[in-house]
Structure 1
Amino acid sequence: MKAVIVCTSVSHGNTKRVADVIGEVLDARVVTPDQAELDGYDLVGFGSGIFLGSFHADLREFVRTLPQVSGTKAFVFATSGFPDAGLQRFSRPMVEALGHKGFDVVGTYSCRAFDTYLPFKPVGGIRKGRPNAEDLAQARSWAEGLRTEITTG
C-alpha cells in the first residue's frame, strides 16, 4: 500500500503532529497541498485544524480542484478544540467532497487540540497542552486499525 497525507497545519502545529504519527504507522509522507502529487497512491489522508467549523480553506480548495479518481481510498482527520460530533459534524463536508471526486473514504479521525479561536484568545485559548501523549497514542492506535482494515479487508 502506497500512502500520502495532505496536511494543512497553520496555527500551533497540532495537526502536523497528528499527521506525523499517522504517517509513521502508514509509512506515508506528510505533505502540504502545494507539495501534493497524488498519482500512484492507494491511500490518501486529508487533514487540517478546524476553523469556524470547517477544514482549512487551503485544504478545501485543494480538494475542490482535484480531478476525478477511481479506486483510491482516502481518510480524513482533524484537530479541533471541540469534538466532531452531533448534527454539525465538521468532517461531513470534507468526506462528501472527496466522495464526489471518486475517493472511497474509509475512515475519519479527530482529536482535541489547543484552540485560540477569537472568543477563547483573551483567556489564553482552550485545550492547552493538547494533543498530548495520550491523544497521539490514540491517533497511532486509530491508524493501526485503519492499516489493518485496509490490508486485510
Structure 2
Amino acid sequence: MGKSVIVCTSVAHGNTRKIADALAGVLDADIVSPADADLEGAELVGFGSGIYLGKFHADLLDFIDSLPQQNGRRAFVFATSGLPESRLFRYSSRIVDALESKGFEVVAGFSSRGFDTYGPFKLVGGIRKGRPNAEDLASARAFAEHLQD
C-alpha cells in the first residue's frame, strides 16, 4: 500500500489521538491536524475526531469542505465518543456524505468509546473513564490491518 495520512482533531482528553497513534502504527501513516494537512501523494486518508454534541469536530469538517475534488481517493473515518452511534443517531453520516461529495471513496469506519466530560457528564466526573483502553487500541490496530487488505 502507498502513502497514508491521518487527519486528526483531538482536543479534550487525547482519546482520538490514542486511536490515531494505534492506526498510524499499523498503516505507517503520518498524523496531522487539519491546519497542517497535506494530502499530496496519499493513497489512503483517515479523518477522525471526538464527537461533540453528535458531530465531528468543526475544524475537521471545515477542512473537508475546503478540499478540492479527490477523484476516488480512498478514505476512512474514525471517532471517539462517550456514547455509541445508534441507528437513530448517525453522527458518521455527515462526514461520510461530505467526503463522498468531494470524490473520496469511503471504505470503512471505526468508533471507540472515550473518556467524556462534555456537558452534563462533567457533573458526575465524566463517563467511560480509562477509555480508550488496551482492548480499544487493539481493535483499532485490527481495523487498520483490515484496511491494508
Q: Which TM-score band (shorter chain)?
A: over 0.9
Count the aligned residue pairs: 148
Q: CA offset at residue 127 of structure 1?
A: 0.3
- Unpaired segments ≥5 residues, structure 1: 149-153
| DSSP-derived class of the 1:144 partner | helix
Counterpart mapping for 1:1-150 below 5 A: 1-148=2-149
> Secondary structure at 2:109's aligned position in 1?
strand
Distance in 2, matches of 1:128 and 1:16, equals 16
Q: CA deviation at 1:86?
A: 1.2
| Percent identity between the two aligned chains | 62
Aligned counterparts of 1:126 and 1:95: Cα–Cα separation in 2 = 27
Secondary structure of the structure 1 residue equivalent to 2:79: strand
Alpha-carbon distance between aligned partners in 2 of 1:94 and 1:7, rounded to the nearest angstrom: 13
Runs (5+) with no aligned partner, structure 2: none
Deviation track 1:7-65 (CA, whole Å, cap 9, x = no partner) reads 00000000001001001111100000011011211000000000000000100100111
1:97-133: per-residue Cα shift (whole Å, max 9, x none)? 0000000000000000000111110110000000000
Which deviates further from its counterpart, 99-108 or 64-73?
64-73
Counterpart residue type for residue 115 of structure 1: D
1:129 partner amino acid:
G
Structure 2 residue matching 1:45: 3-state secondary structure? strand
Q: Secondary structure at the match of 1:10?
A: coil
The residue identity in structure 1 corresponding to 2:141 is: R
Amino acid at match of 1:73: R
More displaced stretch, 78-87 vs 122-131: 78-87
What root-mean-square deviation, in Å, do the aligned CA atoms of Structure 1 and Structure 2 show?
0.7
In the superposition, the TM-score normalised over structure 1's length comes to: 0.95
| Superposition deviation, residue 92 in structure 1 | 0.8
Q: Structure 2 CA distance, aligned partners of 1:38 and 1:49?
A: 21
- Cα distance in 2 for partners of 1:48, 1:67 equals 21
State how far apart, in whole Å, the 2-side matches of 1:94 and 1:71 are.
Answer: 16
- TM-score when scaled to structure 2? 0.97
